[in-house]
């Protein structure tokens, strides 16, 4: 049963708890990440789910300090259960 339109796009942002690395994954890779040993050990934390097209457009159309703030907020935002 198909529930999402073909042009629907979402990405999932994870942050490594020790070194701060940020990983952005598509839905299929995010499913694998969620069931991975690294997630079970608490190495990565899901911090955001976003529409990559909207976010990219926002970043491209914004400049300077505000652009840096948007990027920082995306990598530090806590996910809601």
- State the pLDDT at residue 81: 45
What is this structure's pTM?
0.77
pLDDT, tens digit, 9 for 90 and up, residues 39-67: 999 999 999 999 998 998 999 999 999 99
Q: What is the DSSP string of 39-54?
A: HHTT-EEEEEEE-HHH
Q: Which residue intervals of 1-81 are DSSP H helices? A: 27-34, 37-40, 52-60, 64-76
Q: Where are the domains of the chain?
A: 11-76
Residue 5 is predicted with a pLDDT of: 65
Lowest average pLDDT, out of 2-11, 28-37, 64-73, goes to 2-11
């Amino acid at each position: 049963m198909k529930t999402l339109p073909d042009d629907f796009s979402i990405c999932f942002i994870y942050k490594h708890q020790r070194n701060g690395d940020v990983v952005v994954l598509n839905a299929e890779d995010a499913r694998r990440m969620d069931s991975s040993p690294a997630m079970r050990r608490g190495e990565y934390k899901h911090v955001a789910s976003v529409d990559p097209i909207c976010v990219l457009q926002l970043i491209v159309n914004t400049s300077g300090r505000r652009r840096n703030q948007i990027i920082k907020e995306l990598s530090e935002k806590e996910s809601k259960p």
